[in-house]
Each structure stands twice: as C-alpha cells, then as structure tokens.
C-alpha cells in the first residue's frame, strides 16, 4: 500500500515510521494504527546473498515457520516408521519428495506474506517496499525498488530491521555456502552436507536432512548459543545415535568448488550439479592439522547478526555495540536518540524470539500512543529448539545459575522419562529428559526449567507463567499431573544431580 503523496496536515509526514519489516515493528505498527496514529513501514525485502527471496514478516517470523515445517516433516517420517507397531500397513513404499515439500513451504510463506499485507492495509498502516536510511533527525531517505529517492519525515522512528544469518568471512563462504534461509530454495536435495553449527538452527537442519537418509556431518563451533551445556550434549548424543556425524575442536578455513568430482554413492544428481562439481572444504584442527574433504553442500548456521549497517544510524549518532552491531536501548526500548526506538532482534544484549518481539512491539505502541506505562519484561523468556528431540527452556542454564548464585545455593532436580506413545515402537527409552534448577535460599524458587522431549515447547508454556509468579519446588510438587502425559514428570521430581552423582561414585548406577 503506497503512502499518500499529498501534503501533510502536521509538522511531519507521519507520526510513526518503522524501518524494517521485523515482527516487532509490524506488531507495533498495527497497534499504533489502531490508536489512530499515522504509520508507515519501509521494508525492501532484499534477497539473501545466494538470491533467496524474502517475504514480509521479518527473518525470525519466516524462519520460525520454516523451522517448524522442517521439524514436522521429520516427525512425520518417524511416525511412518512407528506406525506399523500401531497396526498400520502400506500398499506402496513410502518415500519423500523434496520438490513437493519445497513448493508447499514456499507457497505457504507467500500466502502468509500476502495475508500480512492485507492485514496491514485493513489496519490503516501504510506499507512501502523500499529501503529506508536516516539522513537527519526525524528524516528518512526512501529508495524504492526502481532506485527512485525521496525524503519523508516522522515524529518517531522505530528500527525493526531484524537480523540475518552470519557468515564466517573465509574464502568461498558467500560464494558457495548456504544458510538456513537458503535451504528450501534448493530445487534438489542437498545430498552429502556439512553443517557448520553454532546455534539451534544448525542442529535442526542437520536432523531434518539426516531423516531424509542424507549423509550429514556437523562441525560444532564452541558452545551452542543459548543452550544449557548438558542439554546440548544430550541432543548431540541423540543425533549421533541417529546417524549424524560430529566434528569437534576444528574450524572451516576455506570452501572451493571442484570440477566434476561426483561420488557414485550419492543420490541422483542432475546434469547441472554434475557440471558444477562438488565443494572441497579445508578444515583446521585445534592442534593445527589441515584436512580436506568433499561435500555437495556446506550449510552455515553459526548465529545471526543485527542488520544495522546502511540505515544511517551513524548520521544521527545512535549508539550501537561494537561487538554485535546491535542497537543499545534502555528499559523503554529507546535508543541514545530520544525520538528513535529499536525493537526485536536488532537490539543489543536482549533475548531474541518472535513472540518476545511481538509482545514488546505492542507494549511500546501502547506506551507511546495509549494510556499504558507497562515495560516489556525481558527476563524469563521461553525459547525452543526444534531439534530431533525438541528442547525448550526458560530461565537460567545450570552453568549460569551456578555462576549467579554459587553452586552451594543451587539444587538441580532431574529425571529421564519415556513417553507412553514411544513404548510400543520401543523408541529410545532414556533419551527424554527434564531438569528443574532451584535457588535454595529463596524457598527453592525455580530459576531454570528445561524440557527435552516431544512437544517440549507446549509443555513448557504453562510453567513459564508459573515462573513469572515465583514458582517454587514445593508448589511444583503440589501440582497434580495429567496422566497419561509427559508434563506430569515435572510434578514428581525427587532425584537431584548431587544424589545421582553420589550413586555413580558408589557404583550403584
């Protein structure tokens, strides 16, 4: 929806101008428009370095959808394997069609983007597919898709440009490597794949590809971002048993393309692939040894970086972190410039989830244009990794709790469990796991809750509200569990890690 070109009735062209189409900015724009505020959103939707088109909604919103679709594809494949134990029989061999999945996902993303555009229009939000750059206080230079420029002014500016996958800045990474947002733009399966992994997206993609029968190797980059270390190790072990190879204590230094080197054992390769050849990677171990190997695809999932370059923040002296590039904000989501705010994953040092960005955006609009004064609470933010064994967490990791309170003040209750639906197909008896981290001096208040198992995110959601209210271990124990159901394990935890470790030392476990 193009903005009006007539003269403004006020001092500025708009009351609120949002640069970027991140989920937080969109939520704020719709909330503000509902309060009769004149709002414009600028979002160019520039493609990825590999040319993958992006849709309105921000990287986090669209990537969350893709992550969920990949997980569901994996779970359906596992369900097919389990189904015979439940009496199902198939007349034909079951196989996976890569192109059908890609087409369905792309159509769904486009449909969601069109629906979002219609929603903005119905709310009265003006949307322009264009690049915005701050050139002076309250002034933004707008460049449309045809390169035409003009200046627009607004009383308040909000930066919601989100983040993008990081690259390694090594030879060949941008030319030959994919990121998670490129994976489902491939017209064919990626075949033998090396995943450079530093975040949940890498493990999610690796398991999805492995579930299709592809050969996958994961190169872990130090500690996984946002993971409790013990939980991360359990996920790694589960994937290793499932057929995923892991490389530790090494780094990728170069990616090159070779000509016509095609492995006979690979999946059917198109003539186009054959002409392009495979990728030769150079790997350096911790002790300096150099090794080379060949893969069909190299996928980078080493984290995400805030999109703050090229939007004119320097011109008005908006303070950004030198380390992350993220925008420094106060408790009101306000930058170092009074009339400029930032929302979502573009912020420095804040947790980043789609749900949090939407919540924060709505609250910001109500503070600026409504009668509310409620600040967004950036603590106890739940997260979920859609890994093969779904992992959801809220609060502190065990390592962070020990660092914050000291090990003597922290008690960790834990248990493995076996979902009832897994018993008939005899799936992985002790792989599902929960742990509750308590601050002992504060009546064993729950400061961290971690669940690894089917539907972990949905299990955790209700407990997050309880943690916001100061949930204690005693209150958790007094909760009646639903049987049969996986969440009931959290209401009957009696074993602590100290007890388990003592039993192991005595040889009783």
* Domain co-membership, 25 together with 138: yes
Best CA proximity match to 16, nearest among 162, 125, 169, 90: 125
Average pLDDT across the chain, whole number: 90
CATH of the domain at 234: 3.50.50.60
| The last residue of a domain, from among 369, 401, 425 | 369
* Domain co-membership, 284 together with 320: no
How distant is the alpha carbon of residue 303 from its chain centre?
9
Is residue 235, in this structure, part of any structural domain at all? Answer: yes
- Which pLDDT score, from 0 to 100, does residue 429 have? 87
Best CA proximity match to 468, nearest among 492, 485, 449: 449
* Domain co-membership, 291 together with 310: no
Asked if the peptide bond before residue 484 counts as cis, ω within 30 degrees of 0, the response is yes
Residue 144 sits at the vertex; the CA angle it makes with 147 and 63, to the nearest 5 degrees, is 120
* Domain co-membership, 293 together with 337: no
pLDDT tens digits, residue range 261-272?
443 333 334 433
| The last residue of a domain, from among 256, 281, 302 | 302
Strand, coil or helix: what is 308? coil
Q: How does residue 508 score in pLDDT terms, banded at 50, 70 and 90?
A: low
Residue 474 sits at the vertex; the CA angle it makes with 470 and 477, to the nearest 5 degrees, is 115
* Domain co-membership, 145 together with 76: yes
Cα dihedral sign, 146-62-120-40: negative
Average the pLDDT over 368-387 and give the result.
95
Is residue 86, in this structure, part of any structural domain at all? Answer: yes
pLDDT tens digits, residue range 178-215?
998 899 889 999 999 999 998 899 999 999 999 999 99
Q: Name the strands in the sheet holding 391-395, side by side, starting at the edge strand that comes first in the sequence.
A: 383-385, 391-395, 445-452, 432-439, 410-417
* Domain co-membership, 154 together with 19: yes
- Which pLDDT score, from 0 to 100, does residue 272 have? 38
Secondary structure E strands in 238-296: 245-247, 250-257, 279-285, 290-295
- The DSSP secondary-structure symbol of 182 reads T
**All residues at 6 or more sequence positions from 468 whose CB lies less than 8 Å from its CB, including other chains:** 377, 380
Q: How many structural domains are present in the chain?
A: 3
pLDDT tens digits, residue range 30-60?
999 999 999 999 998 888 877 788 888 777 7
* Domain co-membership, 134 together with 194: no
* Domain co-membership, 411 together with 465: yes
| The last residue of a domain, from among 337, 369, 401 | 369
Does 248 participate in catalysis according to the annotation? no
Q: How does residue 255 score in pLDDT terms, banded at 50, 70 and 90?
A: very high
- Which pLDDT score, from 0 to 100, does residue 265 have? 33
Cα dihedral sign, 493-494-498-504: negative
pLDDT tens digits, residue range 479-494?
999 999 999 999 999 9
pLDDT tens digits, residue range 305-329?
999 999 999 999 999 999 889 999 9
- Which pLDDT score, from 0 to 100, does residue 124 have? 95
* Domain co-membership, 224 together with 253: yes
* Domain co-membership, 35 together with 158: yes
* Domain co-membership, 18 together with 159: yes
Is residue 380, in this structure, part of any structural domain at all? Answer: no
Q: Which domain holds residue 29?
A: 14-163+305-369
- Which pLDDT score, from 0 to 100, does residue 34 have? 95
* Domain co-membership, 350 together with 474: no
Average the pLDDT over 98-105 and give the result.
95
Is residue 183, in this structure, part of any structural domain at all? Answer: yes
Strand, coil or helix: what is 18? strand
Catalytic residue among 249, 439, 450, 483: 483
State the burial class of residue 477 (Cβ atoms within 10 Å of its Cβ: 0-12, 13-18, 19+).
Answer: middle
Is residue 92, in this structure, part of any structural domain at all? Answer: yes
Strand, coil or helix: what is 87? coil
Residue 14 sits at the vertex; the CA angle it makes with 366 and 347, to the nearest 5 degrees, is 55
- Which pLDDT score, from 0 to 100, does residue 5 have? 45
- Which pLDDT score, from 0 to 100, does residue 507 have? 60
């Amino acid at each position: 929806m193009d903005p009006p070109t007539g003269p403004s009735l006020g001092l500025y062209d708009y009351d609120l101008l949002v640069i970027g189409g991140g989920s937080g900015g969109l939520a704020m724009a719709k909330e503000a428009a509902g309060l009769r505020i004149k709002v414009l959103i600028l979002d160019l939707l520039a493609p990825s370095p590999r040319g993958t088109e992006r849709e309105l909604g921000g990287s986090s919103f669209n990537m969350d959808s893709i992550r969920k679709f990949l997980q569901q594809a994996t779970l359906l494949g596992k369900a097919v394997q389990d189904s015979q134990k439940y009496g199902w029989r198939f007349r034909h061999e079951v196989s996976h069609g890569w192109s059908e999945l890609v087409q369905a996902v792309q159509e769904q993303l486009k449909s969601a983007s069109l629906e979002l555009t219609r929603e903005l229009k119905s709310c009265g939000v003006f949307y322009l597919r264009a690049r915005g750059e701050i050139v002076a206080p309250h002034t933004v230079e707008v460049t449309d898709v045809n390169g035409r420029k003009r200046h627009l002014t607004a009383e308040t500016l909000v930066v919601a440009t989100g983040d993008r996958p990081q690259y390694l800045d090594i030879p060949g990474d941008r030319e030959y490597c994919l990121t998670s947002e490129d994976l489902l733009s491939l017209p064919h399966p990626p075949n033998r794949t090396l995943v450079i992994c530093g975040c949940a997206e890498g493990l999610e993609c690796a398991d999805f590809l492995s579930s299709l029968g592809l050969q996958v190797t994961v190169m872990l980059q130090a500690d996984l971002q946002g993971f409790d270390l013990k939980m991360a190790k359990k996920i790694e072990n589960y994937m290793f048993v499932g057929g995923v190879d892991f490389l530790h204590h090494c780094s990728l230094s170069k990616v090159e393309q070779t000509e016509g080197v095609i492995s006979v054992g690979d999946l059917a390769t198109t003539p186009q692939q054959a002409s392009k050849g495979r990728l030769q990677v150079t790997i350096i171990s911790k002790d300096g040894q150099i090794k080379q190997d060949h893969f069909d695809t190299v996928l980078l999932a080493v984290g995400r970086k805030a999109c703050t370059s090229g939007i004119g923040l320097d011109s008005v002296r908006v303070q950004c972190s030198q380390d992350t590039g993220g925008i420094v904000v106060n408790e009101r989501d306000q930058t170092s410039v009074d009339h400029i705010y930032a929302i979502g994953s573009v912020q420095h040092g804040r947790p980043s989830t789609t749900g949090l960005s939407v919540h924060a955006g709505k609250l910001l609009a109500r503070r600026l244009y409504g009668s509310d004064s409620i600040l967004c609470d950036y603590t106890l933010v739940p997260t979920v990794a859609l890994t093969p064994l779904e992992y959801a967490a809220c609060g502190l990791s065990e390592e962070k709790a020990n660092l914050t309170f000291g090990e003597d003040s922290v008690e960790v209750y834990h248990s493995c469990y076996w979902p009832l639906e897994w018993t008939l197909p005899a799936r992985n008896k002790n792989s599902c796991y929960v742990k509750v981290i308590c601050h002992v001096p504060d009546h064993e208040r729950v400061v961290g809750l971690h669940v690894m198992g089917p539907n972990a995110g949905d299990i955790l959601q209700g407990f997050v509200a309880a943690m916001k209210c100061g949930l204690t271990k005693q209150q958790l124990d007094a909760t009646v569990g639903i049987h049969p159901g996986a969440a009931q394990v959290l209401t009957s935890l009696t074993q602590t890690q100290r007890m388990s470790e003592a039993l192991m030392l005595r040889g009783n476990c």
